Homo-oligomer: A and B are copies of this chain.
């Protein structure tokens, strides 16, 4: 939230923070304007509607998230190294943007139209279809070679994503309800990264 930014940018930054924290429905353009230090009319001047402002932020975040997954697939190493590398990348990306999972999940779950929109604009993209096809063929190859348990590729993916995303999803509860400091949360995440890696590798042994 750099004060040197243009109003247009500052509004988007503040809006993102509020949408992340409170969700779409609980955030008003009035509140956004107030935190920016401008009038509510200005928010609508730049983004016309609240939904429109939201959508820009939402898509940008989804894009960034999917890019991380896309970039995690490199074939030029052993499968074990790939897994280590991928899990590490996911943890690092989420550490840099810890609220992303909550934000995306909440808005996707409560709003069917957003799912439909995403289906059209992302899921069908060749990039992501290709990603899965490649991943699948690598898994099959490893299984043929007897280096990997006979598990469905989709299961592997879901297991990794679940274990990676979950600590970030539950971070606020972990902090407030179990009374942890920010530093303790940070340490726990680092610890989890190691443990998830160990667990996945062990769980995928033939």
Contacts and interface: CB of A to CB of B under 8 A. Distances in A.
Contacts of A37: none
Interface in A74-119: 102, 105-106, 108-110, 112, 115-116, 118-119
Given A106-B109, A162-B166, 8 more contacts: A25-B25, A109-B169, A116-B176, A118-B177, A159-B195, A169-B169, A200-B203, A202-B205
A163 interface: yes
Contact of A162 (B21, B109, B115, B163): B163
A105 B155 contact: no
A21 B109 CA distance: 8
A164 B8 CA distance: 42
Contact of A176 (B23, B112, B179): B112
B173 A26 contact: no
A78 to B, nearest CB: 20
Interface in A159-199: 159, 161-163, 165-167, 169-170, 172-173, 176-179, 191-192, 195-196, 199
